[in-house]
Structure 1
Amino acid sequence: MSGSWDAVATALVVERGDALSRYAYLLTGSVDDAADLVQDALVRTFGTPRFSLTVPRAEAYVRRAILNAVIDRSRRDGTWRRVRHLTLAPSSVESPADASDERLDLIERVRALAPRQAACIVLRYYEDLTVEGIASVLGISQGAVKRYLSDGLRALSSAIDPAGERSARTGGSNVGT
């Protein structure tokens, strides 16, 4: 679909709005923040008229704007984390290990990763992009993508099953100990 930018914007919101919201939610972990991010990204993309814009191309612009906003926000938050008082209570609380809670915990753990690690994990396993595709989207080398994926997966797996990682590291089992 190619046409006027306002028709493309309308078609994008109707056809791909839910997918964009899910994408933003995976990066933020908050429905409200995700909705704000999608809205801001749409405004950034369609705030000035762009000609020769198609729905797939517009979606790529919006996804990139969402990702950039998440990375920028994490940089700002990182600056404030260093300034906050050390006795401030943590904002997240561990939940029981029920099946649905494990999924929520995983989302929280993905959000706890470094911004580029989280972006690489989401783009690889949610968007199903190749290493080359992720490198293209983020504008970094394929080697950097591989490193971010490796470090991110290691952090996630150790957070999910620290006992299993310990036994795998020592090369033995916990039987008889």
Structure 2
Amino acid sequence: MVIYLVMAAQFESFVHPFVILLSVPPAVVGAVLALKLSGGTLNIYSEIGLVMLIGLVSKNAILIVEFANQLRARGAALERAVLEAATLRLRPILMTTAATLLGALPLALATGAGAAGRRQIGLVIVGGLVVSTSLTLFLVPAVYRLLARRSHHPEPAAYEPSSPPVCEPESSVAELR
């Protein structure tokens, strides 16, 4: 609840934090599924992995929501802002996810002394990121599109009247469809 309220203050909206926090349940499901399939347990090590995992998947959702908000503040239509935000933020999200997965893979495959704790952390991160990234790349833009219609956005001129729009012409967006 505290995280939701802090994000609501940051985004000045009660809708956008909800969209961001929707990325957490798929991550937790993926983490618990990975633990279940490997015979792991929910212990202090896996909980440390969960904290890291929740931070990572929330960051991925924040990238999409924040960029869509910026595009809408500059005057882009809702559909166009969501499409561009999801498209332009796909690469950074996939790069961060791949780097984290490659970093956590040795933990998940650990053997030897102290491997029990490291394996729990690694399994939670790998399982949660795989499930969450594959689902939230579609879930966050779709839910944002549905719920952002109800959220209030200031007039584009209130932010940067002299800055040119970041969005491409309407024809290029139509070509993407």
TM-score normalised to the size of structure 1? 0.34
Query: Which has more helix, going by share of residues?
Result: 2
- The answer to which structure, 1 or 2, has the higher relative contact order (CA under 8 A, 6+ apart) is 2
TM-score by length of 2: 0.34
